């Protein structure tokens, strides 16, 4: 029989994302678990490895419940004191805290400014001609929401994936992201596949079709706005075009995907 979760007094969430792993999170988890085992707290506590907690600069990180305690820059030595402190309901190690409930702000010595897209810039592009262009984000945490939004708001949106005929987005009947790397756009006549998840370096074939560059543009000649997807080698994989600068889905792009960037046509 597994643990009786009803007896849990404390839960420790250890970040097991890439940055925390590089900073030694596995040693921290092992130390904490060994402490809990040897001090007879194994059955009334819980330790969980999580994906990235969004505070990579403070790696390795850990969150403790009950309460809202976020710890930073952990080491095997520190974690034993922290675990012990919480189990004994002593004060947490305040100096090791990144944040706790009641604080107005987090305390980090390694704060990194959030990455924001650069403003639209004028460019004479090989494919687009004179245009205003900027780069957005290409991780699946942006691209999957983008395609889901377009599924719900397809009006005036056209999708073209290289080697396939452009289709109005309203012909897309479902957006599925259940495979490891691939987003599937279902239409009545078939399925378009786009690679949007991070791909291991050795999977060369997938790297060719992985969206690594996402550009948002305004084309001077056609007065059209759109998105261009490229692989890491700079080869175009597909485009999305919007029928006007006032298109609802384009406005979503500038607000959510480009974090409120404005398109200043006076630059042209
Ligand atoms: S990988 Fe741990 S906070 Fe990002």
Closest ligand 1 atom, CA of 19? 1
For 114-128, how does the pLDDT look when each residue is reduced to its tens digit (9 = 90+)? 889 999 999 999 999
Residue 2, pLDDT above cutoff 90: no
pLDDT computed for residue 43 by the predictor: 94
- Domains, in order of start, for the chain: 5-100 (3.40.30.10), 121-263 (3.40.1570)
Binned at pLDDT 50, 70 and 90, residue 267 comes out as confident
Q: Is 55 in the pocket of ligand 1 (CB under 6 A)?
A: yes
Reference 238, options 169, 152, 151; nearest CA is 169
pLDDT computed for residue 156 by the predictor: 97
Residue 4, pLDDT above cutoff 80: yes
For a pocket test of ligand 1, which of 15, 73, 110 has the largest count of ligand atoms closer than 8 A to its C-beta?
A: 15
pLDDT computed for residue 92 by the predictor: 72
For 173-195, how does the pLDDT look when each residue is reduced to its tens digit (9 = 90+)? 999 999 999 999 999 888 999 99
Query: How much distance in Å is there from the Cα of 120 to the middle of ligand 1?
Result: 30
Give the pLDDT mean for 165-169: 91
pLDDT computed for residue 258 by the predictor: 98
Give the sheet arrangement for strand 129-135, strand by strand. 121-125, 129-135, 213-219, 224-230, 236-242, 157-161, 167-168
Query: How much distance in Å is there from the Cα of 71 to the middle of ligand 1?
Result: 12
Give the pLDDT mean for 216-237: 96
């Amino acid at each position: 029989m597994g643990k009786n979760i009803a007896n849990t007094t404390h839960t420790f969430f250890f970040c097991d994302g890439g940055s925390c792993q590089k900073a030694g999170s596995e040693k921290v988890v092992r130390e904490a678990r060994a402490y809990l085992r040897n001090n007879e707290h194994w059955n009334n506590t819980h330790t969980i490895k999580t994906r990235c907690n969004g505070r990579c600069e403070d790696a390795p990180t850990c969150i403790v419940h009950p309460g809202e305690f976020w710890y930073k820059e952990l080491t095997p030595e520190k974690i034993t004191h922290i675990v012990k402190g919480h189990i004994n309901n002593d004060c947490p190690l305040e100096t090791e805290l990144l944040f706790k409930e009641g604080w107005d702000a987090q305390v980090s010595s390694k704060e990194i400014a959030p990455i924001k897209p650069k403003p639209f810039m004028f460019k004479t592009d090989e494919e687009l001609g004179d245009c205003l262009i900027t780069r957005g984000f290409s991780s699946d945490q942006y691209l999957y929401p983008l395609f889901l939004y377009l599924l719900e708001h397809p009006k005036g949106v056209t999708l073209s994936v290289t080697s396939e005929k452009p289709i109005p987005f309203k012909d897309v009947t479902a957006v599925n992201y259940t495979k490891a790397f691939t987003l599937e756009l279902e239409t009545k006549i078939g399925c378009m596949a786009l690679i949007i998840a991070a791909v291991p370096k050795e999977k060369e074939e997938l790297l060719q079709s992985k969206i690594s560059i996402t550009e948002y543009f305004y084309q001077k000649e056609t007065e059209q706005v759109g998105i261009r997807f490229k692989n890491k080698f700079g080869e175009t994989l597909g485009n999305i075009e919007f029928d006007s600068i006032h298109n609802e889905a384009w406005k979503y792009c500038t607000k959510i995907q480009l974090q409120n960037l404005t398109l200043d046509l006076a630059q042209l």
